[in-house]
Structure formats: structure tokens, C-alpha cells
Amino acid sequence: MAKTGLRLARDEFDLSAPLARTALAQSREVESIIDATGGLGVALGIARPLDLSPAGSFALAAPRLPSISGPPNPSFTDQVGFLNALNPNGSLDTDPNNSYWEFSGETARKWDTPTAGTSATVKYFFDPSSGFSANEENTFLKAFGLWEAVADITFVEANTVAQADVLLTRGNDGSAYFLGNTTNGSGSTLGSYVGQTLISVDDSTFGFELTGSFVTAGGYGLSTVIHEVGHMIGLGHGGFYNGAVNPATQQYSAFDERQWTIMSYIYWNQAGTAKFGDEYTVTGTNWGVTEDSINRQAPHTWMPVDILAAQWLYGESTSNALNGGDTFGFNSNIGGIISDFFDFTVNDHPVITLFSLGTGNTLDASGFSEDAFIDLRPLGFSSLNGHVNNVVIADGTVIETGIGGSGKDTIQGGDGKNKLLGKDGADQLLGGGGKDDLSGGAGKDKLEGEGGNDTFRLTSDKAADADKIVDFGGEDKVSLLGSEFGLAPGALKASAFELGTAATSDKDRIIYDQASGKLWFDEDGTGAAAKVLIATFQNNAVLASTDFIVV
């Protein structure tokens, strides 16, 4: 007989000051209690007091779940399956070493049709006695909107409390949790929710604010709601823990970390004690300190593992919220309920994943002055506004255009056709394997096309902006800004190009010396005006007028 249980998913929120860590509302998710006849049991969750342990130690909840060590070296895909208890083919993963729900004595579950990859609609209702303000309600709606943007699940408001699948309520026990009944599945049939479920958040506890702020506790309250909605749609935790965690023993994989999944309890400052810390593929992460002097610990959106875990359950989103032509960051064009997450004028210390189902997308960091590293490769982490590894691109998402700010930026392209714009500062642009377009902007920049037939744009006639072009060759082109150099658009005339170190005609404008690799602009050829260095070719490339275009 299929088991039915009452699940209380309560989570540890550890808001660490630079010298001492304080765990807020640290409590435990109590295991479903099933009587001998397979009937419904009741589980009660008791909130634990604040953990005032010094940094580097962990106060653990009394163990309520079986002790399982997990498999050696689980992969990224394994971590996806651990969250939703599914195999990639949609069947249930019944190995408790590889599945959070099996580890907890249950199975994968979802709303509506109990088949992986099928859509669902969930009705919600705000508890009238909770007295939520419009802004607080909006915080829940933002979380719903995020999950709708990646998976084919739709949230609609019920007309009455009795019609609701999930009741949203303000708690008073110092914790945040999801509570629900589920049946267990088997084979390729997932478990289902039974009756009404509940998300409760006690916003009187610091860190559980429902204002939707990215500032208070670094946006931990908003992250809390997104996390609990993740539980509600069928995702478990990232490792073998609930209520409290010992990273040294309970971490499932190197991807059981908040830079990969919002469902994890483990964050960047615990890398030194984490079980798989030595196997992290992304290292040196630092999300900085919040305005209220605690370590910024939680992401503001789902992360790469979460997106795939939700899609395995419900399929890809059909909401068109993030469907191509999306600009993330400054000058963002993302609208609707999720707009603030991806607008760097609102969320100026972003800890986010960039996701889009379409192409023609842009990451615009032009408003930041700190040195930045921008990585446009899928699962590539960017470091923006003084943080390290705080913006990541989802697996399968294509971001073609990267725009730097006024710092000394490095922009790394992927295998596709990238457009890289350094803007101000001495930048380094790396095209990757595709046919790329590289423009350093102001400052002495280093441009490297890497593979593919690339275009190197020179837009300034000032020596202070002279760029270094590393690997010009093949079908690469140099693009000259006609309005800056006084040249007509189109192919560069042969009469305007001269090999050597000086002009030999009053028509010469572009002069190239292969021996030194130096490229000059001379506004009047043999006239009185001095030539100006505009670029250096590090590989002493062989150039002809046909290698230049004027735009």
C-alpha cells in the first residue's frame, strides 16, 4: 500500500557576521510518520533556539533521518536527480543514496499528472488572518513567477480558501516551512499531493522578511520564499540533512552548495569544511557582506541545478517570460513580476542565474565600476560589483552579448557568435570558439578572438585607447569607425593603406609595420599632422587593405 505522510520542511537560515555565525530559526523537518496500516500520520516540527556557535563550528539538530554517506563523486546531473528523486528518463530513483525523497522514506512527487515532464496548475490563497500587505503578497508572487519562468507550472489565485492547493500564511514560531501530504509513487508514476498544503513564514524573525528586499539580510527573506516554493513543487534539499547541516558529513556532492542550488544549506563561506570542498569546480566564491553586516549567503533566484530539477518534473516553461532577446543587468528589458531580479539598478548586488529559452540575449554590466569577470559560457560564473562568482548562466542558456563597465574587465565568450564590449577601462576580451565581435571601448584593451573568424573593432583615434590584438589571422577583420577616422563606410581603399612606418602619400590613413606589429592612423598622410598609434598586433600579423572594413 502506498504510504501517505505529512511533511514539515523547515530550514536552517545561517546569517553569519564576519567573525561569528548566528543561525536563525534553526529547526528540523520532521519525518513523515506512517502507522502500520499505511494510514496518515501527523508530524510536528519544533523550532530550535538560535545557534550562537562561533564561526567554524556547527550546532546540529538531533538526527531524525537515516545516516547515509552517498555515492563517491556525484556529478552535476546526479545532483539534479537528488533534488527531485528522478532518473533522467523520468522514472523514480529509488536509491536513498541518490535521492533526497528516498533518503527521507518517500518518493518523487509533483502536482497534477503524476508523470515526469508534464505541466501542472497550482491554486494558492493568502490566509486572511495573516494580514499580508500588497507588498508581502508580491513577494510570494515573485517566487511563483520565477518558477513559472523556467518550468511548465502555473500558479493561479483560488477564489476561496477551500479551493486552494496551497495556503500561504504568516507563522509565529520563528521558522519558515512547507507542509503537505503526499502519496508515494513507483516505476514511472510519481507521488501526488493529497489535500491542501501550507507555506508558513514567520517574518518577525530576522532574515525571514517578506518585503522582497534585496538589502535586508542580503535578500534572505526573498530567497526563503523561493526555497519553500521549491519544496512545494517537489524539490528536496541538496544533501542528507534537514533543519541543520554538518557540511563535512552531510553534503551530497560538490554541487550541493548554494552557488548551484537554492535548495542547499551550504554556502560559499563553508567551502573549507565541506565534504566535497576540494572537488569544487568553481572556487574562491565570495558574495560579500550585506548592508547589515552579515555574510551574503543566499541566492536571489533559482540556480542551475534547480532549473533542471524543476524541468524534469514539469517540462520547460511555456510562459514566455524569458524566451530570447533578454537583457540582464543594466538597461534590462525583462518585464513582469520577475523584472527586479535581473535589473542591476534594483538588485545591485545580484546573486542570480541567467536563464533564457531563446537567443539574442545580453549581460550588461555597464553601470558597475569594480573590475569584473564576465563569462558567457553555459554554467560560467561571472564576478560583478566586487563579488566573486555571483552570476551564473544556466545550462543550455545562450548569452551572446557581454558588456563591461568602467573597471578593468575580462569578458570571456563561448563557442557561439559573441559580441563583447569592454566599455571604459583597460579590458581583456576573449572571443571563444565562434565568430565573434570584439570592441574594447575606451582604454588600452587586449583583444583575443581565440577560434573562429572574428571582427576586432577600433573606435578611437587616441593613443590612450590603442588596443593590443593578440591572434589576428585567417578570415578575421579589423573594423574601423568611419566617423572617428574620417573614412567612408565600406571596404578600406587600397590607396588609404600603407605598409611601413610612415605615410608616403597624402591619401594614406592607415599605416602598418609588420616588424613591430604597430598600426597607426594618420589623418593627413604626408601632411603636418602626426600619426597616432591605434593598435598593436601581438602576432605581427600579415595585413592588407582587404583585412579592414569601415563602418
Q: Does 12 qualify as catalytic in the annotation?
A: no
H/E stretch holding 157 reads strand 153-157
Which is nearest to 469 in space by CA: 535, 542, 549? 535
List alpha helices for 340-496, DSSP H.
482-485
Neighbours of 394 (CB within 10 A): 24
Instruction: State how far the alpha carbon of 466 is from the alpha carbons of 405, 529, 550, in Å.
Output: 18, 18, 17
Measured CA to CA, the distance from residue 268 to residue 10 in angstroms comes to: 21
Beta carbons of 362 and 401 less than 8 angstroms apart: yes
Measured CA to CA, the distance from residue 380 to residue 342 in angstroms comes to: 17
Beta carbons of 11 and 227 less than 8 angstroms apart: yes
The residues with which 381 forms a beta bridge, in sequence order, are 392
Measured CA to CA, the distance from residue 31 to residue 34 in angstroms comes to: 9
Measured CA to CA, the distance from residue 183 to residue 192 in angstroms comes to: 5
Beta carbons of 256 and 264 less than 8 angstroms apart: yes
Pairing of strands 510-513, 497-499: parallel
Beta carbons of 550 and 490 less than 8 angstroms apart: yes
Torsion of Cα atoms, 210 then 216 then 222 then 228, to 10°: -80
Among residues 228, 400, 450, 498, the one annotated as catalytic is 228
Positions marked catalytic: 228
